[in-house]
Amino acid sequence: YGVLDSRNTDTTRYYMDPIDQSPRQHNVSVDNRGFGFSTYARLALLKTGYISSDMTLSYYLDYDSNAREPASLIWDISKKERYGISMFNNFMNQLILYGTVDRGDTGYGGIYDFQHDLPYEFYIGFGSQYSASDAKVNFEDPYDRGIKLTAYQNLFIRDPSTIIMPVIDETRYIKKGAVAEASLKKVFNGSLYFFTFPVSLRREAFYLKYRYYDIEDFNTKTRIYHEQTLGLMADLLWMNKLPLPLGLEYIHNDNTKEEHHFRFTIGLAF
């Protein structure tokens, strides 16, 4: 992919002060290459019934030459069951282990997800993630190093060690981080079909989610975040055929600058 504007701009970098070991920040010039790319190769190791396992080797080069350039090795094993046109997995048990290399720094970690259906179209879920890096940073280093903590990650970037916090104030780079999550979902089958309007409603789901973050900066200071989410997911259909999921979320996190957050998402599924 390419970029429309290759002019240098200032961006915030976090680092550990070498004198008092306190967190600092400063601006450095972003040197845009004018291009970037993402590539991966995947090898299927196992596929039997609902169980599958594969190994993935990926590499991402950002157009920002200061940004991370992770090469990652990912092992994934899972058992997933989804029956009929169920809105969510009826059962999922998944483990992902990964290691990354970025300009001499190494990172490692894993992700675990568990989901199960309950009577009356309730669904429960539990998940966790842990990522750590051996990177060392200081004021003189203009490069992003460590584990990326950000609000989102686009489809181009293949960095499994990234930790997503939807309401984080700005992207940061940390020494290590852990996340634990619990969720409860309920599907309602209220439908509204149209034959003269292009969008119809097939069903909807409400969900509650709690996430706990344990973040350690490069000065070994630990920050704890508690995040609660109330969401609505509408299963829309374009022309009564193409899935068009729509999401509305209210997120509460009293450990960030903005305590109350609202988020809207829409996507296409093929």
Tokens of 136: 């060392």
Rounded CA gap, 65 and 212, in Å?
A: 32
Please tell me the pTM assigned to this model.
0.85
Q: What is the mean pLDDT of each run of 10 residues along the chain (270 residues)?
A: 46 54 60 77 94 94 77 96 92 96 92 96 97 80 79 76 88 91 95 89 95 88 92 91 90 86 74
Q: Tell which residue, 182, 194, 201, 187, has the closest CA to residue 87.
A: 187
Structural domains of the chain, with CATH: 9-266 (2.40.160)
The pLDDT value recorded for residue 6 is 46
57 in Cβ contact with 41 (< 8 Å): yes
**Largest interatomic CA distance in the chain:** 69
- What is the model's pLDDT at position 72? 94
What type of residue is 167? V
Tokens of 248: 């509305």
**Burial class for 179, CB neighbours closer than 10 Å (0-12, 13-18, 19+):** buried
The three-class DSSP label of residue 229 is strand
Nearest to 250 by CA among 237, 236, 262, 268: 262
Position 201 scores a pLDDT of 92
Tell me the torsion sign for CA atoms 36, 76, 207, 216: negative
Give SS3 for 106: strand
